[in-house]
């Protein structure tokens, strides 16, 4: 593996996983492992080794152009109108840490926005309207770029971050079968997640909670294939949990302690976390003042 290097190991990924899966059955190896070993664990360990090797080979962030940032935007749902609304702050904070980042808005175009834009009118009213409208915009983005990082307009990078961090699939908890069976969803969003978990359990897939309101990376070919298979625009279930548990759970990281969701107070907004987001009602004067203060600070170095 050292001789092949990170890229060579990526090309031979399944071969390497097969090798370590067989090695993991050896009694001599089993005695040295801290946990029961299986193919899923082997895939995770091999991905970690490849990531570490590639960082040593080239410690720079991946090419910004290869991971554009995409915002799905409906002007009618914005908390504030005009410039300096949620979208404005979310985009400016990406550009603060990565001035050359490629930024794309899909949906409605704000009056102040002059960057890359893909027009996509809001879909007509139907069950799960808002969720399906967002998905329709992501599917539109997938027809224009090969991969992208999905940003919501009320998600803000308030500390320096690497493109690798932005392009990491992020979950906030593992929803065990016992937790799922004891769960009583109270709203439409929770029920769409429950529908996704039920399908994942029925099909022996992982059940991590990726519906985390955080930046998430999508590979366009896989996203379009998911819609073709599941037809979520007709029979909706939470697409984040479905997509990432089917395609990227081995490379995902627990970001449950790496972000802050403001839901009760804006008295103390300063956070040690890199990500900040808020419920709809808390995009208010204290929130804007805090985000302005972050924008006004001198940019810090971005460390991998």
3-state secondary structure of 287: helix
The Cα–Cα gap between 200 and 99 comes to 39
Q: Which CATH number fits domain 64-170+206-296: 3.30.70.120, 3.20.20.70, 3.90.550.10, 3.40.50.300?
A: 3.90.550.10
pLDDT for residue 206: 94
The Cα–Cα gap between 209 and 270 comes to 26
- In the chain, where the domains are located: 5-57, 64-170+206-296
pLDDT for residue 59: 46
pLDDT for residue 60: 47
At 260, phi and psi to the nearest 5?
Answer: -125, 130
pLDDT for residue 243: 97
Q: What is the DSSP letter of 213?
A: S
Which residues have C-beta within 8 Å of that of residue 45, sequence separation ≥ 6? 20
Q: Which residue has the tokens 């804006």?
A: 266
pLDDT for residue 171: 94
Crossing angle for the helix pair 285-296 and 86-97, to the nearest 10 degrees: 20
pLDDT for residue 280: 77
3-state secondary structure of 174: strand
pLDDT for residue 298: 74
How many CB atoms sit inside 10 A of residue 104's CB?
Answer: 18
pLDDT for residue 50: 79
Q: In what order do the strands lie in the sheet with 259-262?
A: 155-157, 275-278, 259-262
* pLDDT under 70: residue ranges of the chain: 34-36, 54-64, 79-83, 263-267, 299-304
The full DSSP string for 92-135 is: HHHHHH-TT--EEEEE---TT--SEEEE-PPPPS-TTHHHHHHH
The Cα–Cα gap between 223 and 81 comes to 31
pLDDT for residue 222: 94
The Cα–Cα gap between 103 and 98 comes to 11
pLDDT for residue 76: 84
Residue 69's nearest CA partner among 89, 87, 86, 91 is 91
pLDDT for residue 284: 84
């Amino acid at each position: 593996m050292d001789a092949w290097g990170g890229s060579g190991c990526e090309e031979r990924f399944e071969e390497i996983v097969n090798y370590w899966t067989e090695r993991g059955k050896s009694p001599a190896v089993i005695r040295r492992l801290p946990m029961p070993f299986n193919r899923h664990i082997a895939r995770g360990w091999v991905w970690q080794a490849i990531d570490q090797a590639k960082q040593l080979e080239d410690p720079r962030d991946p090419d910004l152009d290869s991971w554009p940032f995409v915002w799905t935007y409906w002007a009618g749902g914005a908390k504030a109108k005009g410039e300096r609304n949620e979208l404005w702050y979310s985009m400016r904070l990406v550009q603060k840490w990565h001035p050359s980042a490629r930024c794309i808005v899909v949906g409605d175009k704000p009056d102040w926005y002059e960057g890359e834009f893909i027009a996509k009118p809001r879909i007509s009213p139907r069950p799960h309207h808002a969720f399906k409208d967002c998905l329709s915009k992501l599917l539109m983005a997938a027809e224009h770029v090969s991969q992208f990082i999905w940003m919501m307009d009320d998600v803000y990078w308030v500390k320096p971050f690497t493109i690798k961090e932005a392009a990491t699939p992020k979950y906030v908890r593992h929803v065990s079968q016992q937790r799922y069976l004891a769960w009583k969803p109270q709203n439409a969003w929770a029920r769409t997640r429950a529908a996704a978990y039920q399908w994942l359990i029925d099909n022996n897939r992982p059940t991590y909670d990726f519906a985390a309101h955080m930046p998430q990376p999508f590979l366009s070919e896989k996203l379009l294939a998911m819609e073709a298979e599941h037809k979520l625009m007709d029979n909706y279930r939470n697409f984040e949990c479905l997509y990432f548990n089917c395609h990227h759970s081995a490379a995902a990281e627990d970001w449950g302690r790496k972000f802050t969701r403001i839901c009760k107070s804006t008295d103390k907004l300063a956070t040690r976390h890199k990500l900040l987001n808020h419920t709809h009602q808390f995009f208010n004067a204290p929130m804007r003042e805090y985000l302005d203060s972050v924008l006004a600070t001198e940019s810090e170095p971005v460390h991998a």
